[in-house]
Amino acid sequence: MNPAPRAALMITCLADIFFPEAGVSLVRLLRTLGVEVDFPAGQTCCGLPLFNSGYHREAAAVAARTVPLFRDAPSVVVPSGSCAWMLKHEYPGLLAGADHQEARALAPEARALAGKTYELSQFLVRVVGRTRFRSAVPGRLTYHDSCHLRRGLGESEAPRTLLRNLEGAEFVELADAEECCGFGGSFAVRLPEVSSAILDKKLAAIEKTGAEAVVACDAGCLLQIAGGLSRRSSPVRALHLAQVLA
Amino acid sequence: MTAPATSFRKRAAGALQDAFLKQALSIATTRFLALRQEAFTGFREGEALRDRARAIKEATLQRLDHWLERLVDNVEGRGGRVHYAASAGEARAIVLDIARAAGARLVVKSKSMATEEIELNEALEAAGITPVETDLGEYIIQLAHEKPSHIIAPAIHKTRGQVAELFARELKRPVAADPEALTRIAREELRDRFLKADMGITGANFAVAETGTVVLVTNEGNGRMATSLPRVHVALMGVEKVVPSLSDLVVFLAILARSATGQRLSVYTTLLQGPRAPGELEGPDEFHLVLLDNGRLRQLGGPLREALFCLRCGACLNVCPVYRQIGGHAYGSTYPGPIGILLTAMIQGRPAVSELAHASSLCGACAEACPVRIDIPRMLIDLRRDNVHEGRAPQPGERAVFRLFAWLVRHPRLFRLVARLARLAQWPFVDRGAVRRLPLFFGEWTRTRDLPPLAARTFTERWHDLRRET
């Protein structure tokens, strides 16, 4: 365990405006573990939507304003695999290749940020070292792997470890849990028919588990899955990992 | 292939309406996936072999001119002839010249995506030469006057029932929708063509530079017959398919069939060296190897370089959530699926994929499945970037929207103000706790999904209270 743990929260734009409860739960959870949580002001979006659609100059400008926000943080916790991936995998290269000298000068700092940034489940299991929690949501839970967390950051175990060890909940595996939910950022609105067809398959698998809630570690997937469940009038809830750990 | 008239989105939406397609795709890709998984489970050398294969590809491309020269020398040293085609048109002309010189009227073909790429069948027919596809899947789609919808399973979009109907209609042979019975009929129909054909045309999975060996990987034995029965054999292959040595070849053979069909080896691995030599019993009188560039060589130092590693196994199609929903035809180009977008950009140029480059959720399943670990999502993002940079954003007006968004993101106060305004503006659209219908392009989301309402207070707004909780 980290001797004097302190972490800065990067809330991410989607969690900030759509799922603030996930952020609140995350802060309370980290505090119960003795982690002091900062929330650096001035946060907006990490720029991933710009990056994925090919607007790399704009994404580099966003990276250049985001990196200094977390300058003083010993570590940065992100409740979204895709945004964590953006910081860890793309910021250093984007800034190193940026048009402006001031942005390029931030590349070393971006590399430092990449090294101290963690997606929530990874932070809990691999940094804090806590894997046993009570469940805030009793009943049966299942888990959807977000693509960026699983394949981008190579993490499929940490969330499962936490869910398997949950006291007061039953964890069941989702069939084809590693398959994309069809969100893909702008993909969801560029090709809504395809995005929804992919989602339908995911929703059918979720409903088949008989779970009360599907848990994910990415606000993007949650937006897509929650939106699909709601349209089906499904009783299944889509929750962020932070919302089920107590 | 000429650019399709409709947008990818329209074609994809059309494909989603096809219940037969959905059923056929779901069965076939799920089976391919399971077989591939099984083939690599417990195959301890698998991961190291994938790394090794990738390293061989990289090293070969570093000295491609050298290996191609060796290949040419060794093929010609065994009495074969090598031709170089810079474009699809040149490749067609070369094959037609060979066919005319040989007086060929009937040609049997083994499955080859390279011949699809240059639209060889159409050119042969226009010259009065009859091409007959002899791979079962290719035979089916030739009867149906369609194009392959998968790199290794060209008729993957058809159910067995549809194939039975097709045979009854085109061959006047009513048959049960049973794969064995269907195969028997195709075999009977094709046997006579093999015996009468003047020329055999194949692709090549690999060509070994040091020995001048052309390698065909098939499952039906038709490749072997197409290369041994007719008087003339023409093999057409992309320049990137050369491998230095037989020991390199073994590395690729160990992962190709496993990735493609989940087999440890395909049923037939045919190694061909030149025409029939004196004293040999089998083989053609003439052997021609056509090396096709068609956009490949300029990528040796280009952004799509890694796509030249592709073995055409089709694994990235089988795992792609987009391909699995819409199949291959909706892509509207010879090569479908994630790798197909890159190959289309390679062959037709970047502008051809301004829309197609977005036909991916960037989930990364393709890169994970690729036997040589081609980073397909990375190259898709780069294609998007270069197209945006060159003024070819896929949607009119999207550049302005993304730039406005980027500007807001850099101005937190305004960003928050817009979020607050959106929160107010959403109320007319909230119904029973969810946003169910939105105007403008937001409606693309709510067409099939709800949107959770924007929270009454954002996390940023709640932080003020939350900070004091301790």
Beta carbons of B317 and B151 less than 8 angstroms apart? yes
Rounded to whole angstroms, the maximal C-alpha distance in chain B is 93
User: Please, are residues B459 and A15 in contact by the beta-carbon 8 Å criterion?
Assistant: yes
Cβ <8 Å between A227 and B381:
no
Which pair of structure tokens corresponds to residue A184? 């893909």
A49 close to B (CB below 8 A): yes
Q: Chain A window 57-76: which residues touch B at a Cβ cutoff of 8 Å?
A: 58-59, 61-62, 65
Using an 8 Å Cβ cutoff, are A45 and B409 in contact?
Answer: yes
Cβ within 8 Å, pair B362-A52: yes
Q: Do residue A184 and residue B9 have CB atoms under 8 angstroms apart?
A: no
Q: What ipTM was reported for this prediction?
A: 0.96
Tell me the nearest-neighbour CA distance from B353 into chain A, angstroms.
13
Question: Which chain B residues have a beta carbon less than 8 Å from that of A17?
Answer: 419, 422-423, 454-455, 458
Nearest CA-CA partner of B109 in B154, B79, B56:
B154
Question: Is A234 in CB contact (< 8 Å) with chain B?
Answer: no
- Give the model's pLDDT for residue B3: 58
Amino acid found at B14: G
Instruction: Say if the Cβ atoms of A190 and B408 lie within 8 Å.
Output: no
Chain centroid, CA B394 distance in Å: 22
Give the minimum alpha-carbon distance from B461 to chain A in angstroms, rounded to a whole number: 9
Are B459 and A55 in contact (CB < 8 Å)?
A: no
Q: Measured between CB atoms, does A204 come within 8 Å of chain B?
A: no
Q: Is A192 on the interface with B (CB under 8 A)?
A: yes
pLDDT, residue B67, reads 98
> Does the pLDDT of residue A222 top 80, yes or no?
yes
Q: Smallest CA–CA separation between A149 and chain B, in Å? A: 10
Collapsing DSSP to helix, strand or coil, A170 comes out as strand
- What pLDDT does residue B441 have? 85
The reply to whether residue A17 touches residue B326, judged by beta carbons under 8 angstroms, is: no
What's residue B440's pLDDT? 86
d(CA B104, CA A32): 82
| pLDDT at residue A3 is higher than 60 | no
Q: Other C-beta atoms within 10 Å of B101: how many?
A: 10
Query: Distances in Å between the alpha carbon of A98 and those of A46, A63, A81, B220, B424?
Result: 16, 10, 24, 53, 37
Give CA–CA dist B305/A52, Å, rounded: 20
A24: nearest CB among B399, B450, B459? B459
Which residues from chain B sit within 8 angstroms of residue A191, using beta carbons?
A: 8-9, 12, 322, 358-359
Q: Which residues of B touch A18 (CB under 8 A)?
A: 452, 454-455
Contact B325 A56 (CB under 8 A): no
pLDDT tens digits along A181-199: 999 999 999 999 999 999 9
- C-alpha span between A235 and A241 (Å, rounded): 18
The DSSP result for B54-111, as a single string, is HHHHHHHHHTHHHHHHHHHHHHHHTT-EEEEESSHHHHHHHHHHHHHHTT-SEEEE--
Angle (nearest 5°) at CA A51 between B336 and B454:
105
Do the Cβ atoms of B271 and B238 come closer than 8 Å? no
* Residue of B463, B467, B468 for testing the chain A interface, max A β-carbons within 10 Å: B463
- Give the bridge partners for B288, in sequence order: B81, B234
Does residue A162 carry a pLDDT above 90? Answer: yes
- How large is the angle between the packed helices B46-62 and B64-77, nearest 10 degrees? 90
The distance of B361 to chain A (nearest Cα, Å) reads: 4
Whether the model pTM is above 0.90: yes
Q: Does A180 touch chain B (CB under 8 A)?
A: yes
Whether residue A2 has pLDDT greater than 50:
no
Give tens-digit pLDDT for A59-110: 999 999 999 999 999 999 999 999 999 999 999 999 999 999 999 999 999 9
Asked whether B346 and B382 are in contact (CB, 8 A), the reply is no
From residue B140, alpha-carbon distances to A47, B117, B183, B201 in Å are 47, 18, 10, 18
Cα torsion B390, B394, B396, B397 to 10°: value is -70
Q: Residue B53 is which amino acid?
A: A
B454, closest residue in chain A (CA to CA): A18
Compute φ and ψ for A14, nearest 5 degrees. Answer: -70, -45
User: What tens-digit pLDDT sequence spans chain B (470 residues)?
Assistant: 555 668 999 999 999 999 999 999 999 999 999 999 999 998 999 999 999 999 999 999 999 999 999 999 999 999 999 999 999 999 999 999 999 999 999 999 999 999 999 999 999 999 999 999 999 999 999 999 999 999 999 999 999 999 999 999 999 999 999 999 999 999 999 999 999 999 999 999 999 999 999 999 999 999 999 999 999 999 999 999 999 999 999 999 999 999 999 999 999 999 999 999 999 988 999 999 999 999 999 999 999 999 999 999 999 999 999 999 999 999 999 999 999 999 999 999 999 999 999 999 999 999 999 999 999 999 999 999 999 999 999 988 999 999 999 999 999 999 999 999 999 999 999 999 999 999 888 899 999 999 999 999 999 999 999 999 87
Total beta-carbon pairs less than 8 A apart between chain A and chain B: 199
pLDDT tens-digit profile of B138-150? 999 999 999 999 9
